[in-house]
Amino acid sequence: MKEKQNRVIISSKNQAICRIEENCRNCGMCKLVCNSKMGIEGYYDLEKEDDNPICINCGQCVQSCSFNAIIPKSEIPIVEKNLLDREKIVVFSIAPAVRVALGELFGLQAGVNVEKKIVTALKLLGAKYVFDITFGADLTIMEEASEFVERLKENCKLPQFTSCCPSWVQYLETFMPELKNNLSTTKSPVEMQGAVIKTYFSNVKGIDKNKIFSVAIVPCTAKKVETKAGFINGENCFGVDAVLTTTELGQLFINRGIDLRKIKNSEFDKILGRGSGAGIIFGHSGGVMEATLRTVFYLLNKINPPKSFFNLKNVEKSGAIKEGKIDLIVKKIDVAVIYGTAKAREYIIANRDNLPQFIEVMACPCGCVGGGGQLKYVAGELENIINKRIKGLKGIDNSSIIRVSYKNPEIINIYNNFLGFPLSSIAKKILHKKD
Ligand code: SF4
């Protein structure tokens, strides 16, 4: 049957999203978003791709569909199967943006932090350990900041583009391959978390890594694809075995009759369960830049960053493209923060010969808080809901005792006891993509 023309084409092999044919009204919203916000549909020739549609797996078509005709590809069955397997040790890790959105499903306001309720609920389901991906975000910051300092000193491979958003990485590699070397080589927080669960954590606990079933809970459909390519270099295993979106996690809780409002709080497990305020703000656009610059400042000057590096004003303005000048004492640098891959391409083309030294790009609106795997919002409510989720993350950062990654005691421990130092050979082996 000829593909209906109004909608995006989704391959049957797509590992992130799928379409429920009977729900589709051919309204065209998915195509509109894919074209105008993501810059994909309409920007390539399907015939030249041998009829394989290009998809960066961002899931914004899921969010745009009023008829629930496009949904994340569910991994609930594999997670449930492993929870029932007595041989398996099921370990969950929760990404920053999930905690300020999931409560909405249980009648709480957007932005309310339900991380401690999620820990309890996962333990009720049979999780052995529950970790916080803000730890993985702190690790990403340590590696990415060190990489940026190196590039700055050597004046090479600049601008450095962030690499934590797999949809953005895939977009750049597909549409602007000439800039591939400008991407940071650091893996995303989710992938780093998975890598250290199957190495450092399993060693410290004396657990056979093959018995661990590692589940990442994320706001993102693209992580479903990213993690399936995430074989840990030299370890013969994947860091993450399954990915649940915020929506899927909510579904799992509802299936099991768990109401988040009615359960007690629990703490994350040690040794990968603590993140700094910097790790938390990875969940919104501009947060990756701010978090990384705090550590860049420290690495360059060996003193803590001044107040101005907390709630960075010059990259704080609203809008899909923000620019700023950052004073690092030894050097002043230009930075840019962008969300939406269509805007990123537009910006890069317009500024090709004069790009800032450090550029953060996230695919989804306002970053992961508006991710394709987040709970869907009612039409017209998008801005309001997303702003509340951002406020929630900023509030956690503002009230954190530790707001810089290099002071996170669990980060200090992993470098002292396992990785050595940022960009060490072991860090490059398991936490970075090969050049
Ligand atoms: Fe995933 Fe966040 Fe990127 Fe959206 S912005 S594709 S949620 S990593």
Q: How many CA atoms lie within 13 A of 340 on its CB side?
A: 16
Output the pTM of the full model: 0.96
205 located within any domain: no
By residue count, the chain amounts to 435
Which residues face 242 on adjacent strands?
215
User: What CA–CA distance (Å, rounded) separates 166 from 58?
Assistant: 8
382 located within any domain: no
Q: What is the mean pLDDT of residues 338-350?
A: 97
162 CA to centre of ligand 1 in angstroms = 12
62 located within any domain: yes
Closest residue CA from atom 8 of ligand 1: 165
193 located within any domain: no
Instruction: Report pLDDT digits (tens) over 116-145.
Output: 999 999 999 999 999 999 999 999 999 999
- Residue 82 identity: N
Q: What is the mean pLDDT of residues 85-103?
A: 98
255 CA to centre of ligand 1 in angstroms = 26
223 CA to centre of ligand 1 in angstroms = 8
287 CA to centre of ligand 1 in angstroms = 13
8 located within any domain: yes
Strands 332-339 and 321-327: antiparallel
61 located within any domain: yes
408 located within any domain: no
| Number of domains comprising the chain | 1
164 Cα nearest atom in ligand 1:
8
15 located within any domain: yes
Residue 306: asked if its preceding bond is cis (omega within 30°), the reply is no
Find the CATH number of the domain harbouring 44: 3.30.70
- Residue 35 burial (CB count, 10 A): 16
**What is the model's pLDDT at position 1?**
44
Residue 35 has pLDDT above 70, yes or no: yes
Residue-range definition of the domain harbouring residue 36: 2-72
